[in-house]
A and B are shown apart, each in its own frame.
Chain A
Amino acid sequence: MTDTVNGPERAVRKSQFHLVTTRLRRKKPVLVCGTLLIIAIICALVPGMFAPHDPYEQSLLLRLKPPSFMDGGREGYFLGTDHLGRDTLSRIIYGARITLLVSLLAVAVSTIAGIAAGVAAGFYGGRIDSVILRLIDMQLAFPVILLVIAVVAVVGPSLTNLIIIMGLSGWPRMARIVRGAVLSVRGLEYVDAARAIGAGSWRIMAYHIMPNILSAIIVYASFELARMILLEATLSFLGLGVQPPTPTWGGMISDGRNYISLAWWVAFFPGLAIGIIILTFNILGDELRDALDPQLNHE
C-alpha cells in the first residue's frame, strides 16, 4: 500500500471548533473584517460611548452642514448634518443597533425556516416535496414588498413583526437552495452506508447531509443579509419599517435622497456603512466556509 499522505503526524487532533478558529485567525481578511464587525457590534450595544452628539437633537442653524473635513464644515460634526441639523455620525452609530438587529434576526428567521423546509422537501421527497415546492412558487410569484405591506397593514409595524415578516419573505429562496443541495447529496453512497449501519433519518440529516451542504447555506445567508438591510431601508422609506425618528441606515438614506444634489453626505455615509457591513459579512461567510472544509489544504 502506498503512503499518499504526507505532513506531520498528530497523535491527538484538536477539537473541530479549535481547528476552525485557528485556521480563521491565520487569515488577514478575517482579522480586518472581524475587527470591523466587532466595532459595529460594540456600536450597536453601547452607542452612547462613541457618538459625539445626541442623534435626536435637531438644530435649524446646523442643517445640511458638510463634513468637518470639507469647506464650510462645522467643527465636531465629522460627517456633516442632515436636513434637521442632526449629526450624521451619531445617527450612523445609533442606527447600527436597529439595522444589525433587524437584519441579523430576519436572516436567522429566513435561514431556519428555509433549511427546515428545504431539508424536508429534499430528504423525504414525494408528496412533502410537492407541497413545499408549491408553497415556494406561490410566495415567489407574489412581490415581496406587496406582501410585506399587506401583512404590516394587518398586524402593525412593530419591531418584532418587522423581523418576522422580513424573515418569512426570504425563506423560499433559501429553501430552494437547500433542497437542491440535499438532493445532490442524498443520492450519494455514504448516505446509504449510514442507513445500512442503522442510522435514523435525524442522524443522517444532522451528521451526513447538513455538514455537506453547509457551504451553500453560509454563502447564501451572507447574501441574504445584504438583501435584508436593503429591504429594511425600502420599508423605512415606505413608512412601513422602523418609525422615525429612530435612526436606521436605510431610513437615513431615504431621508437624504431628497437632498442628494445639495448635500450628498446625508445619504452617502449611511450607504457606505451598509456597503462595508455587507462586504464584511460576505468575506467572513466565505472564509468560514473555507475553514470548515477539510479538503482545502490548511497546512
Chain B
Amino acid sequence: MPSIPSSDAGPALMEVRGLRRHFSVDGGWFGQNPRALKAVDGVDFSIIKGESLGLVGESGCGKSTLGRNVVRLDTPTEGALLFEGTDIATLSASELRRFRREIQIIFQNPMSSLNPRMTVGNMLIEPLRLHSYGDRASCQRRVHELLELVGLKSEHYNRYPHEFSGGQRQRIGIARALALNPKLIVCDEPVSALDVSIQSQIINLLMDLQDELGLSYLFISHDLSVVEHMCDRVAVMYLGRIVEIAPTHELYSRRLHPYTRALLSAVLVPDPAVQADEIILEGGVPSPIDPPKGCHFSTRCPFAKDDCSASTPELVEQHPGHWVRCMRIDEIT
C-alpha cells in the first residue's frame, strides 16, 4: 500500500508530502504569545502526468494557500514538494526562478490578474524573455501562436486588458500560463468569477488544452459540479487537511467521510423525486488559529464521539485509490 494517496496510473509528476503552512498571528500587545494560523496542516497527495486533481472545500479551508505553495508563490513551513523528484520547497531564489517554467498558475479574478498598463503582447512576451526563449521575432511568433491556442485573435496583440471581457481576459491569463510550456498548472478557482455561460467555454478550453498539450492540473474550486465534470480525482479539504481523496466517479457515488457527504448533499439535484437524506451541517467552520483537537471535523460531525477529539485520524485507504481520514469510518458506513 503506498503511503501517499496517489493514482496508480503512472509515476507521480508532483508529490506533496506532509505540507504545512502556518502563519504567525500576533498575540498580546507586544507579540509575546505568537500564535499559529494553520492554513495548511499536513497535506499529502500526488498528481500524475496528464491528470486533473480537483481540490474542493469551503472558503478558508486552505485550498488557495495550498495552491500558492505548490507554485511556490509562498514558502511552506514544513514538508516537501517533489516535482519529478526534485524538492522545490528548498530551492534557492535563482534556482527557483529557472524552475518557474514547469509549474504555472491561473488566477481566480481576471480583472486583477492582468497588469492594466501592459499590452497583451508585452504580457505574453515577458515570460519568454525572462526564460531566454529566443530572438524578438520568434518570441512574437510564439505569442501569436499562444493567442490562437486560447481562442483569441492576432489583432489582440496590442490591446490593453480593459478592452476585453471577463472571459477573454481569463483566456489571456491562460495564454500567459501556457507561454513557458509548463507541465503542471494550478487553477485557483479559474471560473468562479465568470458568468455561467462563459464558465463552460473556459472549462472546455482547459480540457482541450489538457488533451492537446498533456498538461496536469491542480484544479481548486468550490463548485462541485465543475470539479465532477473536469477532474479525474478529487480531494476534499477541511480546515487545512485532506479528509477524503478518491477518483471522481468513486467519490461522487460512494462518499465516505461525513464532511464529504455533507458537502455533496449541498449540491442541488434537479429531480424532485430525490430525497434529501443527507447531512445538513450546523454552525460555522472553526478558526484555523485554534483548530479542534484530534479530528478537525469533530465539532460539527453528527457521528462524533469522545475519541474523535482525543487523537488525530490518519488518511487510510478504504477502497483502491479511495482514502479517508476518519476513525469511525467502519462504524458509520
Which residues on A are within 8 Å of B, measured CB to CB?
Answer: 1-2, 4-5, 9-13, 188-190, 192-200, 203, 207-208, 211-212, 294-295
Size bracket, chain B contacts: 35 or more
| Contact assessment for B160 and A295 in the assembled complex, using a CB-CB cutoff below 8 Å | yes
Residues of A within 8 A of B322 (CB): none
A2-B165, A9-B155 given as contacts; is B127 within 8 A of A189 (CB)?
no
| Complex alpha-carbon distance, A188 and B201, angstroms | 25
- Please state if B179 and A197 are interface contacts (CB–CB under 8 Å): yes
Give the contacts of B32-86 with A (CB-CB under 8 A): 68, 71, 73
Nearest chain B CB to A165's CB is how many angstroms away? 35
Please tell me if B112 contacts chain A, counting CB pairs below 8 Å.
Answer: yes
CB distance from B288 to the nearest CB of A (A): 20
Pair A5/B114 contact, Cβ less than 8 Å: no
Given contacts A5-B164, A193-B114, A193-B176, 11 further A-B contacts (CB under 8 A): A1-B151, A4-B165, A4-B168, A190-B114, A192-B68, A193-B173, A195-B73, A197-B180, A198-B101, A199-B126, A295-B116
How many angstroms between the C-alpha atoms of A294 and B159 in the bound complex? Answer: 9
Interface majority SS on A: helix, strand, loop or mixed?
Answer: loop
Q: Which of B161-191 contact A (CB under 8 A)?
A: 162-165, 167-168, 173, 176, 179-180
A2-B165, A4-B164, A5-B164 known; A196+B116 contact, CB < 8 A? no
Give the shortest distance, in Å, between B307 (CB) and chain A (any CB): 42
Given A197-B130, A197-B176, A198-B101, is A294 in contact with B162 using a C-beta cutoff of 8 Å?
A: yes
Some 22 contacts from A to B, beta carbons below 8 A apart, are A5-B156, A189-B109, A190-B112, A190-B113, A190-B115, A192-B107, A193-B105, A193-B173, A194-B126, A196-B105, A197-B100, A197-B104, A197-B126, A197-B176, A198-B130, A199-B126, A207-B115, A207-B126, A208-B115, A208-B118, A211-B118, A294-B162
Question: B97 at interface (Cβ–Cβ under 8 A)?
Answer: yes
Interface centre among A12, A189, A196, A295 (most CB of B within 10 A): A196
A4 and B162 CA atoms in complex are apart in Å by 10
A9–B153 alpha-carbon span in the complex (Å):
12
A192 to B73, CA, bound (A): 7
Q: Given A1-B168, A197-B179, A198-B131, are A211 and B117 neighbors across the interface (CB < 8 Å)?
A: yes
Q: Which residues of B contact A212 (CB under 8 A)?
A: 115-117
Report chain A residues within 8 Å CB of B115. Answer: 190, 194, 207-208, 211-212
Complex Cα distance A188/B115, Å? 9
Given B98, B107, B159, B168, which contacts A193 in the complex, CB threshold below 8 Å?
Answer: B107
Distance of A192 Cα from B68 Cα, bound (Å):
9
Q: Is B138 an interface residue (CB 8 A)?
A: no
**Known interface pairs A195-B73, A197-B180; A294-B104 also in contact (CB < 8 Å):** no
B265 located at the interface, meaning its Cβ lies under 8 Å from any Cβ of chain A in the complex? no
Name the contact of B158 in the complex, choosing from A10, A194, A200, A203 (C-beta under 8 A): A10
Give the residues in chain A near B162, CB-CB below 8 Å: 294-295
Chain B residues in 8 Å Cβ range of A10:
158
Tell me, in angstroms, the Cα distance from A208 to B115 when the chains sit together.
7
Contact present for A200 and B97 (CB under 8 Å): yes
Q: Which residues of chain B come closer than 8 Å to A1, judged between CB atoms?
A: 151, 167-168, 201
- Which residue of chain B is the closest to A210 with respect to CB atoms? B117
Query: Considering only CB atoms, which chain B residue lies closest to A209 in the complex?
Result: B115
The 8 closest A-B CB pairs, nearest first, are A197-B127, A198-B100, A189-B113, A211-B117, A13-B158, A294-B160, A189-B107, A190-B115
Query: Nearest chain B CB to A3's CB is how many angstroms away?
Result: 9
Please tell me if the beta carbons of A199 and B130 are within 8 angstroms of each other in the complex: yes
